[in-house]
Structure 1
Amino acid sequence: MIGRPGAGTIHHVAFRARDAEEQLEWRDRLRAAGIAVTPVIDRQYFTAIYFREPGGVLFEIAADPPGFAIDEPEAALGRNLMLPDRYEPDRARIERLLPPLSESA
């Protein structure tokens, strides 16, 4: 039986590729094995490819570059909510949904 999203399920399992070259090698291997895999998708802070295993679980292989320090200094990471451009129009709604954080949290 194939799982359906809901309570008690996972959305996806992510793996890390060292770089874009390794990510493309995995994409080629998956395609050669007959597995449907997405093109490389730009997620602003990293790139990703996605595929499903026979039971329906979604897998991701992400490559680091360019990284999370592209829009703020590394020393400031985590101090402000930084969103990919595609989510900026929803910033107010996203901020309302997030729990407040403090320095001690």
Structure 2
Amino acid sequence: EEDALRHVIEQVGLSPSPPIDRFWFRSVYFREPGGVLFELATDGPGFSRDEDLVSLGETLVLPPWLESRREQIEAGLPTLDTHVGA
């Protein structure tokens, strides 16, 4: 899928990045002639890769390469009011 995207980008004279594994999806980046950076991403494997759909988004899930920084990342996040109801 990413190889096909890269081929199309190259055909119009742009230089795409190699595919980058983002754990939940794969990305290809390129800059258009004006310098704007674009990201094209696959649909899969998706966010249900490591969470059940029923509880998706209830906790902070990090990709494996950021787990060692969990405490630092969580310390920088604002507190969210997750109370639901009237």
Normalising by structure 2, report the TM-score: 0.87
CA apart distance, 1:50: 0.2
CA distance in 1, matches of 2:74, 2:62: 11
Equivalent residues, number: 84
CA apart distance, 1:104: 3.4
1:77 aligns with 2:56: yes
Uncovered stretches (5+) of structure 2, i.e. residues with no partner: none
* Identity fraction in percent: 44
1:63 aligns with 2:48: no
**Equivalence for 1:3:** none
CA distance in 2, matches of 1:102, 1:67: 26
Instruction: Determine helix, strand or coil for the equivalent of 2:28.
Output: strand
One-letter code aligned to 1:59 = F
Instruction: Determine helix, strand or coil for the equivalent of 2:79.
Output: coil
Relative contact order (alpha carbons < 8 A, sep ≥ 6): 1 or 2 greater? 1
CA distance in 2, matches of 1:104, 1:59: 36
CA distance in 2, matches of 1:95, 1:56: 33
Uncovered stretches (5+) of structure 1, i.e. residues with no partner: 1-19
Of 86, 90, 96, 2:75 maps to 96
Normalising by structure 1, report the TM-score: 0.73
CA apart distance, 1:55: 2.0
Runs of 4 or more, structure 1, over 2 Å off, are 23-26
Instruction: Determine helix, strand or coil for the equivalent of 1:61.
Output: strand
Q: CA offsets, 1:22-70, max 9 Å, x none?
A: x433211111222110111110000110001122211000011100011
